[in-house]
């Protein structure tokens, strides 16, 4: 397989978004959930639309209506949507049918939480396994990654939840179907503002690895 995918999530500042884009991550995430301190509603749509075409733009939503998701996806030129609430498989399949790449996030605290992903097989292109918290992500906390050895699904996943600079040394081969990393709060100087030097070192390191 190739190098791990890198998604940098929680972009909320126009200049910082452009600086992160210059590092050429595979994906950049923009949170359209107002309770999040990293929500992207303050960004002009053109800031997202004018980012390099090679970077997939991901909108993150929590229990939002399909109509709103699709409207914002069109407004901001999103390539994919990440559903971070209790959205059922039917919602994922419905959005996929309208041409969007679908990422579904699951909060994980124990091996039993992985079973919820089974009902979404075939309805999503990618999963995100994040730390289970009331805040729907961005907590900077990590779950016990050893539980992922029990994941037997076909859908690849990004590893999230407290991923930090030190995780560049992680051997991804120990995680069945791990596609890469979803980076957020551990690379920040403030909510929504990423430390581009820490990201640069991480991205360069993991892109020299193979999984």
Residues with catalytic annotation? 9, 130
CB-CB contact of 145 with 110 (8 Å): no
Backbone angles phi, psi at 93, to 5 degrees: -65, -35
H runs (alpha helix) in the chain: 14-21, 45-49, 66-76, 89-96, 196-206
Are 59 and 32 a contacting pair, CB within 8 Å?
Answer: yes
> Residues 30, 44: contact at Cβ < 8 Å?
no
């Amino acid at each position: 397989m190739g190098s791990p995918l890198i998604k940098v999530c929680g972009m909320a500042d126009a200049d910082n978004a452009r600086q992160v884009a210059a590092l050429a991550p595979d994906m950049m995430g923009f949170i359209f959930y107002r309770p999040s301190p990293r929500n992207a509603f303050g960004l002009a749509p053109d800031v997202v639309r004018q980012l390099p075409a090679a970077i997939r733009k991901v909108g993150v939503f929590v229990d939002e209506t399909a109509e709103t998701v699709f409207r914002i996806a069109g407004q901001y030129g999103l390539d994919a949507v990440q559903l971070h609430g209790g959205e059922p498989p039917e919602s994922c399949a419905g959005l996929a049918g309208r041409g969007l790449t679908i990422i579904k996030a699951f909060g994980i605290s124990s091996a039993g939480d992985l079973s919820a992903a089974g009902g979404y097989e075939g309805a999503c292109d990618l999963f995100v396994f994040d730390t289970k918290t009331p805040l729907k992500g961005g907590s900077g906390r990590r779950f016990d990654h050893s539980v992922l050895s029990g994941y037997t699904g076909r859908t690849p996943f990004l590893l999230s939840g407290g991923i930090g600079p030190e995780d560049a040394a992680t051997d991804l081969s120990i995680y069945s179907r791990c596609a890469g990393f979803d980076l957020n709060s551990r690379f920040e100087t403030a909510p929504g503002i990423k430390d581009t030097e820490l990201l640069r070192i991480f991205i360069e390191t993991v892109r020299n690895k193979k999984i």
